[in-house]
Amino acid sequence: MADSPHHVPRYPKSLWRDIQGLPEFPALAGDFEADVTIVGAGTTGLTAAYLLSKQGVKVALIEAGRILDGTTGYTTAKISSQHGVMYDDLITNFGLEKARLYYEANEEALAFIRNTAEELNIDCDLTTENAYAYTTENKSVSKFEKELKAYQDIGINGGEALNEIELPYSVEAALVIRNQAQFHPVKFFAGLVPSIEENGGRIFEQTRAAKVKGSKNPSIETTEGHTINSRHVIVSSHFPFNDEEGLYFSRLHAERSYTLAVTTEKKPPKGMYLSVDSPGKSLRYAKSSEGDDLMILGGEGHTAGKNKENTFNNYERLREYGEKHFGITSIPYRWSAQDLITLDKVPYIGPAVTGKPNVFVATGYAKWGMSNGVAAALLLSDLVQEKNNRFADLFDPRRTKLKKADALSFFKENMDVGKEMIAGKLHRKDQKLEDLENDEGALVTQKGKKIGAYKDENGHTHMVSTTCTHMGCDVEWNNAERSWDCPCHGSRFSYDGSILEGPAVTPLKKLDNN
């Protein structure tokens, strides 16, 4: 825990990934047969593998990197049905019955986590907490009044909570949902692995899916050229790697957000807090692996690849907020996350496209993947086994009826992509390769061509083509994460071009120094 007080650490490190002894798995070395192939070993992939293997289904779970090193390792790890202030909108867009189903799906996911942690004796620091949404702005009070009415109509376990708020500044309106939870996500989901293996499930790391082939008995082809034949495929790779089917690239919006874990002079408040002001703030307490009290501060979100300033500033603003209200004494961890949001804010979970009933997708958890991701696994486990599930219609990715607001968001999203494709090529500022400092990245001109370059701490330069391998937009340098981020659909690449985040399945082209 040693970074000096008042300084954001130079390199990202997630509290949840600061853990020893995670199991490791070999890469797939040849062709394989399974009943179900699951792509992506995060919240949904591991939970679905656990549920299916427990019921005698032969599962192959493949992961492009290491298990739990995607979004699940970089969350604030709240398990809650309170996803901001959204139930009033849900009732308007989907009707009361479906809004209630959304709440119930998330409550069932929370109950599953609680029961499973107990049943498998997983020590994952799970505590029961109230979840509070609040605003400090008078103009938002009427929104909270409507949301309170939505809570009452749906029968949500909670309500008005202004008098319960324990924050060191004044708040204009607040709502609570009771009996929610927080935990250590990597400990919990890694705790499912022994059971998956005991039940015959196989996990392969460093195994990237390249294609889904066929429909009745779909198979997965990996980038190494191996094939997994199965009867069902579940794509839970965050952004569906096969996104051209079902045009997912045009129906998902990627957002980045930032998190600090800090020690503070004032004790962190009990409960989980979410400000719905702009920019929003998320707060919860946690323990470090040494048992120190930590406060987790999140927020400062923006559209992926479109932060026009140094991304260290996003962390810096969180630090200033923590310093002002709680007195920061050290900042042992900082990390960022990328989240996907659907056009109507409800995740896509179910058959990926019409005509391929055995290829399933789960994506678009809108920053609430701990509950939505587990809800997805519970639903998909039923769909694979052809069992009825009352949440299937609500989450069906093939829903086509776009409400007016969703249609506008669809056109804006895709017009923005078109603009990026043109603007990225025309107006790119750059600098000279020889002017790069150590640990600095930028667009540079080499032999009259613009390329991406990062000079590492040892003065070695890594050069890549900045044309995104997904659909050809130009990637931008992200200083705090030392990555190349695509503004179109959120693909991210390391400084050396390797893939950090899809939908891209091919690395950026490496260029040599000559």
- Which positions touch ligand FES (CB under 6 A)? 249, 468, 470-473, 486, 488-491, 503-504
Q: Is the torsion defined by CA of 153, 157, 162, 168 positive or negative?
A: negative
Question: Least distance in Å: CB of 326 to ligand FES?
Answer: 37
By C-beta, is 158 or 490 nearer to ligand FES?
Answer: 490
Question: Least distance in Å: CB of 305 to ligand FES?
Answer: 8
With tokens 């017009």, the residue in question is 415
Both tokens of residue 386? Answer: 């052809």
Question: Least distance in Å: CB of 71 to ligand FES?
Answer: 16
Of all helices (H) and strands (E), which one includes residue 281?
Answer: strand 281-287
With tokens 């946690």, the residue in question is 286
Question: Least distance in Å: CB of 235 to ligand FES?
Answer: 16
What's phi and psi for 405, nearest 5 deg? Answer: -65, -35
By C-beta, is 67 or 304 nearer to ligand FES?
Answer: 304
Question: Least distance in Å: CB of 420 to ligand FES?
Answer: 8
Both tokens of residue 14? Answer: 């997630």
Other Cβ atoms closer than 10 A to 353: 16
Q: Which residues of 407-426 are buried (b: 16+ CB within 10 A; e: fewer)?
A: eebbeebeebbeebbeebee
Question: Least distance in Å: CB of 69 to ligand FES?
Answer: 20
Q: How far is CA 96 from CA 172, 365, 410, in A?
A: 27, 20, 24
**Residue 486: which of 413, 412, 424 has the closest Cα?**
424
By C-beta, is 419 or 460 nearer to ligand FES?
Answer: 419
How many CA atoms within 13 Å lie on the side-chain side of 165?
Answer: 22
By C-beta, is 227 or 414 nearer to ligand FES?
Answer: 414
Residue 248 to residue 353: CA distance in whole angstroms = 10
Question: Least distance in Å: CB of 85 to ligand FES?
Answer: 30
Q: For the chain, first and last CA: distance in Å?
A: 42
**Residue 394: which of 80, 49, 93 has the closest Cα?**
93
By C-beta, is 392 or 471 nearer to ligand FES?
Answer: 471
Question: Least distance in Å: CB of 445 to ligand FES?
Answer: 22
| Under 8 Å between Cβ of 4 and 201 | no
By C-beta, is 375 or 504 nearer to ligand FES?
Answer: 504
Question: Least distance in Å: CB of 489 to ligand FES?
Answer: 3
Residue 243 to residue 362: CA distance in whole angstroms = 12
By C-beta, is 41 or 252 nearer to ligand FES?
Answer: 252
By C-beta, is 455 or 489 nearer to ligand FES?
Answer: 489
By C-beta, is 89 or 485 nearer to ligand FES?
Answer: 485
Residue 358 to residue 350: CA distance in whole angstroms = 9
Question: Least distance in Å: CB of 9 to ligand FES?
Answer: 28
**Residue 231: which of 122, 383, 124, 342 has the closest Cα?**
383
Q: Is the torsion defined by CA of 79, 81, 83, 84 positive or negative?
A: negative
By C-beta, is 402 or 471 nearer to ligand FES?
Answer: 471
By C-beta, is 323 or 496 nearer to ligand FES?
Answer: 496
By C-beta, is 350 or 503 nearer to ligand FES?
Answer: 503
How many CA atoms within 13 Å lie on the side-chain side of 263?
Answer: 14
| Under 8 Å between Cβ of 368 and 286 | no
Question: Least distance in Å: CB of 500 to ligand FES?
Answer: 12
Question: Least distance in Å: CB of 473 to ligand FES?
Answer: 4
Both tokens of residue 19? Answer: 């853990």
Residue 103 to residue 116: CA distance in whole angstroms = 20
